[in-house]
Amino acid sequence: MTILAGILMLGILVFVHELGHFCVAKLSGVKVLKFSIGFGPRLLSKQFGETEYMVCAIPLGGYVQMLGEGQQENGEQVQLSPEEQARSFAGKPVSRRIAIVAAGPLMNLIFPFVVLPLAYMVGVSLPAYLEQQPCIGYVVEDSVAARAGFEPDDCIVRIGDREVLSWEASDLALVAGSGKEVSVLVRRDGAQVGLDIPEDHAGIEGGQALGLLPIQEARVGSLVEGMPGAEAGLKVGDLILSINDEAVQSWYDLRRMIQIQGEGQQSFVVDRAGEALSLNILPKRSGQGEDLLVGIAPVREMVFKRFGLFAAMEAGFERSRELISLTVLFIQKIFLGEVSSKSIGGPITVMQIAGQAAQTDLASVLTILAFLSIQLGILNLLPIPVLDGGHLFFYLCEIVFRRPLSMRAREAAQKVGLFMLLGLMALAFYNDIFRLISGGMF
C-alpha cells in the first residue's frame, strides 16, 4: 500500500509538473515530441498527433521532449530545416523559453490552490488540541524547552510580538522565529513569566520539536492485540490512574514510569466508567535492549470540519499560501545553517507519508498531495543547473548579456549542478535510511 500510494502520488505530481511545460510549449507553437511520466524503459506508449505519450519504469520524474532538444543521429545533433527550427524550443524568443520552463514548477505551486479547497469541502479531520489554548502538558527532559525554563501547566500568551490563542498560532509563530532568539510570555500560577528560546533552536516543526507537548490525559485510545495491555484486560477508554501506587499525571509519564518500575509484573489502577480497577500487567521488550512496552496508544481527539464552497476556497487558499511561505522559510534556513540538514527527507519519506495518507481519507490524500506539490515546485525553482531554476538562470543571463552563455560555460555549470543534485539526493537517502534504522518512522 505504501509503495503503490507513493508511486501514484508522485506520478500525479510529475504529471501536473510536466503538463505545465507541455501546455505552454503548445501555446507557444513548439512541437512536442514526447510526454513521459517516469524514466527508463517504456511500459506504455501511445502516439497522438505529433506527440508520443509514455509511462516509463522508473517513477522518479518525467520529461517533455521538444523539437530540437536531445535529438541526435550517429552521436551528432540533428540538423533542423528552417520550418522545423521555427517550431523548435531553441528557435523561440527567450521570453517564450522562460515561460515554458517556469510553467512546470508554477503548475505545482498552483495545484494546492485547487486541491486544498476540495479537501475542505470533502471535510478534514484536525487534531482537537490545535484550536485549544496553548497550555503545556509536558516538557521533554533535556529539550530546548526544558533548558529555556518551560514548565508543565504554563500557558503561552505571546511569542515575539504575536499574541497566540491556539496551539496552531503558537506553532506558526515558533516556525517564523526559528534560527533566532525568540521571547515567549507564559502565564504561570496567575502571573506572567518571560522566557527566551535560544537562537539555535530548531522550531521549524513547531512546539513539539522544542519539547513542548499539549495536555494529554493517560486514557487508552487503542490497544495492540497480543501485547501485555490487551492480554491483561485493559480496555479502550480506561484512564490510567497509577502504576505500582505512583500517581500518573499525564500520558507522557507512562513510558518513563514503566521503564523505572523495570521488568516484572506491574500493578495498574485504572478508572473505567467511574469504577477503579486494578490490573496486573507484565510489560515486555520488542527487542534486545529496547524499551518495555505494554501495547497501548493514547486517545487522539479529532475535530471533523466540512466547509461550504466559498469558505473552503478561502481556507484552502490561505492554507496554500501558508504552506508555500513555510517551505520557502525552511529552505532559506537550511541554506543559512539555521536548521539541521537532518530535516531533509527523500523518496522513502515521501513513500511513507503517502502510504499513511492513503490509509486514512480523501481529504488527507489531497492535503499530502498539496504539500508535496509545493515542495516539488519550489525545489525545481532553485537556481541549480539541471533543475528548471538553473535553466531559468541561464535565460536571465542571456537577457542581461544579450547572448546565450557559451556551450562550455553551460556544460561546466551542468556538471556542478548535477554534482550538487546527487549530493542532495544522497543526503536525503541517508536521512531516510537513518530514520528507518533508528525507529524514527514506522
Under 8 Å between Cβ of 80 and 341 = no
For residue 278, the surrounding DSSP H or E stretch is: strand 275-281
Query: Phi, psi (5° rounding) for residue 30?
Result: -90, 135
Label residue 79 exposed, middle or buried (CB < 10 Å: 0-12, 13-18, 19+): exposed
Residues annotated as catalytic (active site), given as ranges: 18
Nearest 5°: phi and psi at 7?
A: -65, -45
Cα gap 77→83, rounded to integer Å? 17
Complete DSSP assignment for 203-269: GGG-HHHHTEEE----BEEEE-TTSHHHHHT--TTPEEEEETTEEP-STHHHHHHHHHH-SS-EEEE
E strand spans, 109-225:
124-127, 136-139, 155-159, 162-163, 182-188, 191-197, 212-214, 220-223
Three-state SS for 311-378 is HHHHHHHHHHHHHHHHHHHHHHHHHCCCCCHHHCCCHHHHHHHHHHHHCCCHHHHHHHHHHHHHHHHH
